[in-house]
A and B are shown apart, each in its own frame.
Chain A
Amino acid sequence: MPDKNRKPDQKERERLSNSAADGQYDISPESTGPNAWERVLLARHVERPHALDFIQILTRDFVELHGDRHFGDDAALVGGLARFEGRSVVVMGHQKGRDTKENIQRNFGMPRAEGYRKALRLMHHAAKFKLPILSFIDTPGAFPGKESEERGVAQAIAENLMVMSRLPVPIIALVTGEGGSGGALAISVADRLLMLENAVYSVASPEGSAAILWRDASQAAAAAEAMKITAPDLLGFGIIDEVIPEPPGGAHNNTPELMANVRAVLLRGLTELENRYSLSTAAGLEALLEARYQKYRQVGRWMELSQDGLGYNYQP
């Protein structure tokens, strides 16, 4: 067991990201896989495929659409129309950069309000033309800046949650890297919520969690462990539907293999949804939306204080 209280210093970060890059951490069958913090580093790895890589490799004829029609075009959240295995789809995702210059342009994959409103526009587009949505999640979170607040990033996220929960098209969301808080959630309300093996999805970034809980952002590794943010953890909780395996050493080590895995799972998920609900009929769409509602309705753990005062009745 890794020490939960250790602090990752700069050296360790380098070692991990280098060893991860070379596929040199323990990947033997006996290993339980990378620990939570190692997965965070893998999820953030600069060579890891980003949304546009997934879109370009998995789909054909991608046409990127720009702008939210209100304020601007957010390069941190991309989307458009594409063809996936013979059908038209709407694709969207958070886009990080590969180098400093691109990262500044992409704002490190942290969308502002206009990014979420562009996504909202694409959702309405999908609903209008009855196109399934494929969404690729990879963001540290929505951008916490002055302009975000001025343009109502909270309201934009809330609006997306509401619209997505009732959008009458199949939605599949895949967390490819970092699923950071509300900024990730805002494009990941879905009929199938998937994660790559080393992706993480959390209520706040490990650094943010550590800062909030312990007023010490350097405790990020401990927070990553305590917050149960890995794909296997979340599958165990029933919060996500499936984990897509990554090649040894991480997604970036063998992109073709990764993409083949992803393509197979996305296609299977989409076909299942199409077959289970006759989506051309009102009743079929109603059933799809009801299933989506129930999927989120049941998330949570609680118990009831017993009436006799002798303990708790556990009623999950």
Chain B
Amino acid sequence: MEKIFKRLPRNGAERDKEILAGQNSPLETSQKGETGQPEQAKSKSAESDGPAPKFAWSLKSQGQGKSGKNNPLIEKEIPDDLWIKCTQCKELLYSKEFEHNKKVCPKCGYHFRLGAWERVALLLDENSFVEINRDLVTTDPLNFTSPTELPYHLKAAESRSKTGLNEAIITGYGSLEQLPVALAVCDFAYQGGSMGSVFGEKLVRLVELALERRLPMLTISASGGARMHEGMFSLMQMTKTTAALARLGEAGLPHISLLTDPCTGGVIASYASVADVVLAEPGALLGFAGPRVIEQITKQKLPPGFQTAEFLLEHGMIDRVVPRKELRPLLLNLLGFYQMSGSSQAVEERALEVSYAG
């Protein structure tokens, strides 16, 4: 696990906290609007009073954030780390079992959201992931001002110290059952996983690395879309990332995209949808416009199950809906079909070895 720990902010987060401490800033007012998930945002900002979460990928804190707010019972009487209440079926789950099950409810199959580092830990071989361009951070290109929010550069500092991430995406390379891959993972906790300049630049640099080393590309997306605070710079990242992936494709390297809950707007309308294989997690909210926007603008009533992963599958927009525990073997199987630089026989042999128990 050492390599995973290595990416912890050495002094970035501390410095960000110092920056923030100098401000009389209404911490609570931010975040809420953008994530579309007020409960999580609230409980997260409460956490930020203490030291920044040391391990952003830590399984516990995410679980609390998700279920804690609506359940004073859990917060008060049941030790946080023992029981988790399923958001969907309300079943109480023994947290060890829950985590062993990759944060999928064993009763109803509800897939909880995962942080970026949790994804890396679940997907890649232990210790294999090497993060690149971790120190790229956002500027405030618009000098963005807002009557109700923190100035953007402070909001960014706040997000960094709150999530332990420097951006809404982490990029790097590692191996999946010894098979080298380039991997980019969004984290919805960082400003709704939104795509701004840094997000786009990190992704494009990863594509360039994949081209150089002839690696297959995996992207895991959870994002509300383009980041408002960087205006047109954000919108242009849609083209920038997609164009880079077009070149990856021309070089004969595969791109596999996993869409997770939630993925909307500028991300699903750009790089995440142009993959050679598009997968999605069960029940994930996936769509161009959010359901609230559609109902407001068109006054149309949306049927149950609208804009879910299953809905997209039914309409032919994605290849497969993949339960979390089947993801790893499926990816390995898929990657085995494409010839990268290495010997394809070695890949086949590895594919046979991998256990389907997840």
Contact = CB atoms under 8 A, between A and B. Distances in A.
Interface of A: 4-5, 142, 144-146, 148-155, 157-159, 161-162, 165-166, 181-182, 185-186, 189, 201-204, 208-209, 212-215, 219, 222, 226-229, 234, 237, 239, 292-293, 296-297, 299-307, 309, 312, 314, 316
Contacts of B240: 296-297, 299-300
B34 A226 contact: no
A238 to B, nearest CB: 10
Given A237-B233, A296-B240, A303 B139 contact: yes
Given A185-B235, A202-B231, A158 B139 contact: no
A111 B300 CA distance: 17
Nearest to A186: B269
Contact of B198 (A159, A165, A300): A300
B144 A153 contact: no
Contact of A158 (B230, B236, B271, B312): B271
A5 B136 CA distance: 33
A149 B141 contact: no
Interface in B254-293: 265-266, 268-274, 287-289, 293
B306 A214 contact: no
B12 interface: yes
A165 B148 contact: no
Interface in B1-36: 10-12, 14-15, 33-34
Given A162-B246, A182-B235, A214-B148, A145 B228 contact: no
Given A182-B265, A213-B146, A305-B135, 9 more contacts: A154-B269, A158-B274, A159-B274, A182-B270, A226-B145, A302-B197, A306-B135, A309-B12, A309-B14
Contacts of B271: 158
- In the A-B complex, the 9 residue pairs with the closest CB atoms: A300-B197, A144-B289, A309-B11, A165-B243, A158-B273, A154-B288, A154-B269, A305-B135, A301-B141
A26 to B, nearest CB: 24
B166 to A, nearest CB: 7
Contacts of A162: 242-243, 245-246, 274
B328 to A, nearest CB: 26
A314 B297 contact: no
Nearest to A217: B296
Nearest to A200: B232
A166 B306 CA distance: 33
Contacts of A203: 226-228, 230-232, 234-235, 266
B220 to A, nearest CB: 16
A182 B294 CA distance: 16
B239 A165 contact: yes
A204 to B, nearest CB: 7
Contact of B273 (A151, A155, A202, A304): A155
Contacts of B49: none
B201 interface: yes
B236 A149 contact: no
A214 B147 contact: yes
B201 A300 contact: yes
B144 to A, nearest CB: 6
20 contacts: A4-B145, A145-B297, A149-B311, A153-B269, A154-B317, A162-B245, A166-B246, A201-B232, A208-B293, A212-B33, A214-B149, A226-B145, A297-B244, A302-B197, A302-B198, A303-B138, A304-B136, A305-B137, A309-B14, A316-B139
A144 B239 contact: no
Contact of A305 (B145, B166, B236, B239): B166
B120 interface: no
Most interface-central of A161, A185, A214 (chain B CB within 10 A): A161
Given A237-B141, A300-B197, A158 B306 contact: no
Contacts of B148: 213-214
Contact of B270 (A151, A161, A215): A161
A240 to B, nearest CB: 9
Contacts of A307: 135
A182 B269 contact: yes
B212 interface: no
A219 B110 CA distance: 38
Contact of B231 (A144, A153, A229, A304): A229
A148 B291 CA distance: 12
Contact of B243 (A144, A154, A297, A306): A297
B273 to A, nearest CB: 4
Nearest to A212: B228
Contacts of B10: 309
